[in-house]
Chain A
Amino acid sequence: AQTVTQSQPEMSVQEAETVTLSCTYDTSENNYYLFWYKQPPSRQMILVIRQEAYKQQNATENRFSVNFQKAAKSFSLKISDSQLGDTAMYFCAFRPGNTDKLIFGTGTRLQVFP
Chain B
Amino acid sequence: NAGVTQTPKFRILKIGQSMTLQCTQDMNHNYMYWYRQDPGMGLKLIYYSVGAGITDKGEVPNGYNVSRSTTEDFPLRLELAAPSQTSVYFCASSYSQASYEQYFGPGTRLTVT
Chain A residues with a Cβ under 8 A of chain B = 4, 9, 33, 35, 42-47, 50, 91, 93, 99-102, 104-107
Whether A104 and B43, one on each chain, are in contact in the complex, defined by CB atoms closer than 8 angstroms, is yes
Main secondary structure of the interface of A (DSSP, over half): loop
Whether A104 and B42, one on each chain, are in contact in the complex, defined by CB atoms closer than 8 angstroms, is yes
Closest B residue to A9 using CB positions: B40
A42 is contacted by which of B90, B100, B106 (Cβ under 8 Å)? B106
Chain B: interface residue count, which band? Answer: 20 to 34
- How many A-B Cβ pairs are below 8 Å? 48
Whether A50 and B100, one on each chain, are in contact in the complex, defined by CB atoms closer than 8 angstroms, is yes
Chain B residues with a Cβ under 8 A of chain A = 31, 33, 40-45, 48, 50, 58, 88, 90, 92, 94, 97, 99-102, 104, 106-107
Q: Which residues of B contact A100 (CB under 8 A)?
A: 31, 48, 50, 94, 97, 99, 102
Q: Which residues of B contact A42 (CB under 8 A)?
A: 106
Choose among A9, A35, A43, A104 the residue with the greatest number of B CB atoms under 10 Å from its CB.
A43
